[in-house]
Structure 1
Amino acid sequence: MLDRSSLKNKASTILNATFVRPASFYLSGFSNIPHEKYYYVFLCFIYIMTVLGNSFLMSVIYLVKSLHTPKYMIVFNLALTDLCGSTALIPKVLDTFLFDRRYIVYEACLSYMFFVWIFAFVQSWTLVTMAYDRFIAICFPLRYHNIITKSAVASILLVVWVFSLSLLAAAAGLLDRLSFCGSLVIQSFFCDHGPLYRLACNDTSINYIIANLVLTVIMIIPLVVIALTYVCIAIALSRIASGVERLKALKTCTSHLILVALFFLPLVGTNLAVIISYIHPNARIFNSTLTHTIPALLNPIIYSLKTEEVLNSIRKLNKNNRKPLRTI
């Protein structure tokens, strides 16, 4: 009979004859790519700029009272999710591959997956909330301030966060019921849900269903909702007689459309390639890293440089900081 100390030193915990919980997983990352460390250095640069850009945008929104509006509550939430999402992913990726610490403890792996996808989920539905804001502003301009209130936006964002937490907690919880008796090598750069549950030895049908549900709720439904809102916006703009007014209204949507394209196009492209044909693991990892990092980097730049309200607020803060102190 084995004593307690020998049981603790086992590589994995075997709960019964058919259930094996590993002590750790191995993250494969890229395979057979020369000088791959330069790519991770590039990700490090992206992370630094993402933290600076999103922190700056959040600070401007917080400090300038004229930006304390429902619209910029949504922008603040997007910047927060960008910052948190990048922080959940990139530092661990750098630690894993730059310092060759590819083994990750079982519990840490599930937490890693949960936090990376929770912020991607919230980011997706924050873009939907932005589309709803633009839809009301253009299609119902006279009722905008009655519909898009701070309490209404706060309620929408709260529902997004609660639903995201619930769905991703369910996905992580269902992974915990799986038995991993074969390969422990995750063919990804982080503990991604799909590559992780496919390693299991027992029935993964529920995990397959939850994976499709998460994909539908993160990618398909938001894209359909955003597309429908812009169809309504296009119809509303076609009824505006003045071309100048039409162009002015359209300009208020450009920043949002750029954000939508940056977030969804790589995500849709990668998943379509997986479903329709074969995609090389290296290509999948490359696309996935850019999907999780580039939008978070560019979102604050787009909203700082494309939005006149934010530019004016930055100028106002700059002028206030340059004012000389009065002497008594």
Structure 2
Amino acid sequence: MSPFNLTGSTPATFILTGIPGMEQLHVWISIPFCSMYLAALLGNVVLLFTIWTERSLHQPMYLFLSMLAIADLMLSTTAVPKMLALFWFRAGEISFGACLTQMFFLHFTCSAESVILLAMALDRFVAICFPLRYGVVLTPSAVAKTGLAALLRSFCIIFPCIFLLRRLPFCGHNVIPHTYCEHIGIARLACADISVNIWYGLMVPFTVVMLDLVLIAVSYGFILLALSRLLSRSARHKAFHTCSSHVCVLFLFYIPAVFTALTQRFGRNIPPTVHILLANLYVLFPPLLNPIVYGVRTQQIRDKVVKVFVCPKSHLLR
């Protein structure tokens, strides 16, 4: 037995293998993945630039949307470039430190997105249920504090995962059957009991995300109650339309997130190929579709995008 195996030390590098059983199709799979990634980059950058340059969009709803766009850019950029390098150049080698860094930012960004989506739900709740107090409650300071709270909560939840992984011996096991590093995937390579990793990785983030979902559901319960009391049909339709975009984004984020988390830990009968494909789509679909949903369904954003990018001269001469 080699000295490496005897000491059970941390490996210098990990090897990402990609999608098991589909190695010969990696180049073909990379084409739609790369296209979605570039479209996600373009959509979110356009959204951010439009909100940044248009003073009329410097409102809490759109500031939260810009936070979501930044989180989407972080989520996809943390995973996809390395994934494409693996598909194109078979560059699956990644250092232990880089693997932990990628793992941290992936989970950190997902947790932060959950807080941002909760803040967006509360924004709609205040706007519809307490419209006269909207400007008092959702001040620029409150929006900034919400963004800071998202960062601090996500850091406190995810940072312990680094220590839970660093304490484990790996005994020479360094091949990860995945396209990116994530907590449980790394922990399963260890030659030691990983019960703490499994329970922490499931219970703490899952409990926090479920709390966010409960608060979002309560917010929309009050919103629906308030909408039912509106006498004007056009007012009900307008309020419902402003909420529908956010509801679509909620489904895009939470359904794949919960499904991926549960299949990673309990889906023993689900083929690894299916699980890893879904995990890859999870870091691509929300960043791709979120700006499209808001751009298509929100007239203010749609009009401002046209003004900034399609008719820039008229925008500058205002």
Same fold (TM over 0.5): yes
Q: Does 1:247 align with 2:237?
A: yes
- Structure number, greater radius of gyration: 1
Distance 1:26 1:12, change over 3 A: farther
Q: Equivalent residues in 2 for 1:3-152 (5 A)?
A: 19-33=8-22, 34-152=24-142
1:259 equivalent in alignment to 2:249: yes
Structure 1 residue 119: Cα displacement: 1.4
- 1:38 positional shift: 1.2
Q: CA deviation at 1:162?
A: 1.4
Q: How far did 1:146 drift?
A: 0.9
- Which whole-Å CA distance do the structure 2 matches of 1:234 and 1:168 have between them? 34
Question: Which residue of the partner structure matches residue 291 of structure 2?
Answer: 300
Q: Does structure 2 retain, via aligned residues, the 8 Å contact 1:138–1:249?
A: yes
Shift of 1:169: 1.6
In structure 2, the residue matched to 1:189 is: 179
Contact 1:12 1:22 in 2 (8 A): no
CA distance in structure 1 between the partners assigned to 2:292 and 2:126 by the alignment = 25
Does the 8 Å contact 1:21/1:180 carry over to 2? yes
- Structure 1 pair 279–12 and aligned structure 2 pair: CA distance change class (3 A): farther
What amino acid does structure 2 have at the position aligned with 1:31?
A: P
Which whole-Å CA distance do the structure 2 matches of 1:36 and 1:303 have between them? 32
1:161 aligns with 2:151: yes
Question: Compared with structure 1, are the counterparts of its residues 87 and 277 closer, same or farther at alpha carbon in structure 2 (3 Å cutoff)?
Answer: closer
The 2-side partners of 1:252 and 1:133 are apart by 11
TM-fit CA distance, 1:276: 6.3
- Aligned pair in 2 of structure 1 residues 250, 177: CA closer, same or farther (>3 Å)? same
The CA deviation at 1:272 is 4.1
**Do the aligned partners of residues 190 and 136 (structure 1) sit closer, same or farther apart at CA in structure 2, a change above 3 Å counting?**
same
Secondary structure of the residue aligned to 1:25 is strand
How far did residue 44 of structure 1 move?
1.0
| Secondary structure of the corresponding residue to residue 242 of structure 2 | helix
Distance 1:323 1:225, change over 3 A: closer
Q: Does residue 282 of the first structure (1) align with residue 273 of the second (2)?
A: yes
- Map residues 262-273 of structure 1 onto 2, 5 A cutoff: 262-273=252-263
Residues 226 and 12 (structure 1 numbering): CA distance in 2 closer, same or farther, change over 3 Å? farther
Structure with bigger RCO (C-alpha 8 Å, 6+ apart): 2
Task: Find the aligned partners of 1:210 and 1:173 in 2 and give their Cα distance.
Answer: 12
Structure 1 stretches lacking a partner, 5+ long = 1-10
Q: TM-score, normalised by structure 1?
A: 0.88
Partner of 2:199: 209
Secondary structure at 2:9 match in 1: strand
The CA distance in 1 between the partners of 2:81 and 2:208, in whole Å, is 24
CA contact (8 A) 1:182 1:201 kept: no
CA shift, 1:319, in A, is 7.7
Which has the larger share of helix? 2
Instruction: Give 1:266 deviation, angstroms.
Output: 1.7
Q: Percent identity?
A: 37
- Contact kept, 8 Å, 1:13 with 1:23, in 2: the verdict is no
The amino acid across from 1:289 in the alignment is N
* Greater CA drift, 303-312 or 61-70: 303-312
TM superposition shift of 1:224: 1.9
Shift of 1:232: 1.4
Letter in 2 for 1:230: Y
Supply the AA of the counterpart residue of 2:286. P
The letter of the residue matching 2:178 is S
The 2-side partners of 1:277 and 1:127 are apart by 31
Give the CA RMSD over aligned residues: 2.3
Which stretch of structure 1 is more off in the superposition, 306-315 or 274-283? Answer: 274-283
Q: Match of 1:26, SS? A: strand
Cα deviation for residue 97 of structure 1 reads 2.6
> How far apart are the structure 2 equivalents of 1:325 and 1:97?
43
TM-aligned CA distance change 1:229 to 1:178, over 3 Å: same
User: Could you tell me how far 1:270 is from its partner in structure 2?
Assistant: 3.2
- Displacement, 1:277? 6.0
Q: What letter matches 2:238 in structure 1?
A: K
| TM-score, L = length of structure 2 | 0.91
